[in-house]
Amino acid sequence: MTKRALLGMLTPSSNTVLEPVTSAILADLPDVSAHFGRFRVTEISMNDKALGQFEDKPFLDAADLLADAKVDVISWNGTSSGWLGFDADEKLCADIKERTGIPANTSVLALNEIFEITGVKRFGLVTPYLDEIQEKIIPNYAKSGFECVAEQHLRDRGNFSFSEYTEEKICELIRTVAVAKPQAITVFCTNMRGALVANAMEKELEIPIYDTVSTSVWKSMKMAGADPKRIKGWGSLFTEVD
């Protein structure tokens, strides 16, 4: 029997990008597959109702169902710890492991690991978020030693609407941020099409582009014992980051 790598992905309910993009990234790897569990996320803001979407119970209930598929790893394929604090993701990973026995990761913790591995200290930030969200993300990164030298955000409370921004719009935002010459640029939202433009934008700008859907795939494959370098055409994250 062929050894398979089964990647579990916790997915915001209103997200329509990360599932097809993740599947496209993995399309040429018949032994690696992604499996998705949804829980309700419909708005990204700092009001109490929106913040309450990211309490542990919905995550853990969805993780329980993914565990039935005997996945090798469970990833929170979302960026909420960018504004809630990275310790929220660290606690979530520990809680998922305790609850299911399956190791866990998140898009954001994977991105932070990639920054560490590649020596990135000055980065550019592209998001669709409101001012109040962006104003939390940037200081959280600064506290961890990562300076945001340029940013663009769309002032949208989403979440479904994030998926409707075109690849051309995302490229425009990336180009604007690139003027500051950051060491890397992150498209920091798993319901935007950043992964689809990363490879072309890297060639145009000669700056690494780390999309948070891609970071989740990269880390999940590593944790499942699959080599991310088998993925071609989706940017330097997969070909150059060990």
**241 lies in a domain?**
no
**242 lies in a domain?**
no
State pLDDT tens for residues 23-73: 999 999 999 999 999 999 999 999 999 989 999 899 999 999 999 999 999
**127 lies in a domain?**
yes
State pLDDT tens for residues 111-125: 999 999 999 999 999
pLDDT at site 187: 98
**240 lies in a domain?**
no
**192 lies in a domain?**
yes
In total, how many domains does the chain have?
A: 2
Structural domain harbouring 170: 110-212
132 token code pair: 């109040």
User: Quick one: pLDDT band at residue 2, thresholds 50, 70, 90?
Assistant: low
194-205 and 212-223 helices, crossing angle to 10°: 100
**140 lies in a domain?**
yes
- DSSP designation for 53: T
C-alpha 110/C-alpha 190 separation (Å) is 13
Question: Which CATH number do you get for residue 221?
Answer: 3.40.50.12500
Q: Report the predicted TM-score, pTM, of the whole model to 2 decimal places.
A: 0.97
Is residue 1 over pLDDT 50? Answer: no
State pLDDT tens for residues 69-96: 999 999 999 999 999 999 999 999 999 9
**100 lies in a domain?**
yes
For residues 9 and 47, state if they share a domain. yes
For residues 45 and 117, state if they share a domain. no
For residues 191 and 75, state if they share a domain. no
**239 lies in a domain?**
no
Contacts by 44-50 with C-beta closer than 8 Å and gap 24+? 44/129, 44/130, 44/133, 44/157, 44/158, 44/159, 45/130, 45/132, 45/133, 45/157, 46/83, 46/130, 46/132, 46/133, 46/136, 50/157
Helix (H) or strand (E) holding 215: helix 212-223
Question: Which CATH number do you get for residue 204?
Answer: 3.40.50.1860
